[in-house]
Copies of this chain bind each other. A is one copy, B any other.
Amino acid sequence: MTEEEPEPVRRRPGGRAARVRQAVLAAAMEVLAEEGIARLSIAEVAARAGVNETTVYRRWGSREKLVLDAMLVGSDEGIPVPDTGDVRTDLAAFARALAEYLATPTGRSVAREASLSSEDPDLAAAWHTFWQSRLDQAGAIISRAVERGELPADTDAALALELLCSPLQTRSLLGHRPIEPDLPERLTDLVLDGLKEKR
């Protein structure tokens, strides 16, 4: 098992290959937004990209990997992380942005696809990285609040955000209940203050 490559297989990053990749990923995002995750077939994506079906199968292998790749590239902007100087305002804004994203066809599809591909260890790992980077970004809200003395120093940022976000994700995933407009605010209040009244 030599880790080095004896013959440095000459790759071709420029020109056609890049164009094809671009076109396919764009087409995948397009189908994802319009048709949803269920009706996304390789055939459909290939047709829209003006590329042969075989090419897609050879380059990506499976539908899951294609969608994941499209996500990592296309949905790179992510959810904006506000910084207003107040935890409650920040968290509420973040939750609202997440809710809006999850209401998007694309957002729904992303969440759905992530849950679908949690069987394959490689894909699960890739999604883990994806979520982790988002969580780390949002963690700044908590750490800033700790610095300002709004929250105790031993606050678990990851868990707190999980508490805030997962109800939204669950509603989007299971789809049995809509996300009401005031839900982000109510969740924020609950997460910050807890159930017990004591002020």
Contacts and interface: CB of A to CB of B under 8 A. Distances in A.
A3 B119 CA distance: 45
Given A191-B190, A193-B194, A195-B191, A115 B173 contact: yes
A196 B119 contact: no
A90 B81 CA distance: 36
Interface in A155-176: 155-156, 159-160, 162-163, 165-167, 169-171, 173-176
A173 B36 contact: no
A131 B166 contact: no
A163 B176 contact: no
Interface residues on A, range: 35 or more
- How many copies of this chain does one complex carry? 2
Given A128-B177, A160-B190, A166-B167, 4 more contacts: A116-B116, A118-B175, A192-B194, A194-B196
A7 interface: no
Contacts of A196: 150-152, 192-194
Interface of A: 36, 38, 112, 114-116, 118-119, 124-125, 127-128, 131-132, 150-152, 155-156, 159-160, 162-163, 165-167, 169-171, 173-177, 186-187, 190-199
Contacts of A192: 194-196
A163 B187 contact: yes
Closest 7 CB pairs of A and B: A194-B194, A118-B175, A128-B176, A166-B170, A193-B194, A166-B166, A115-B173
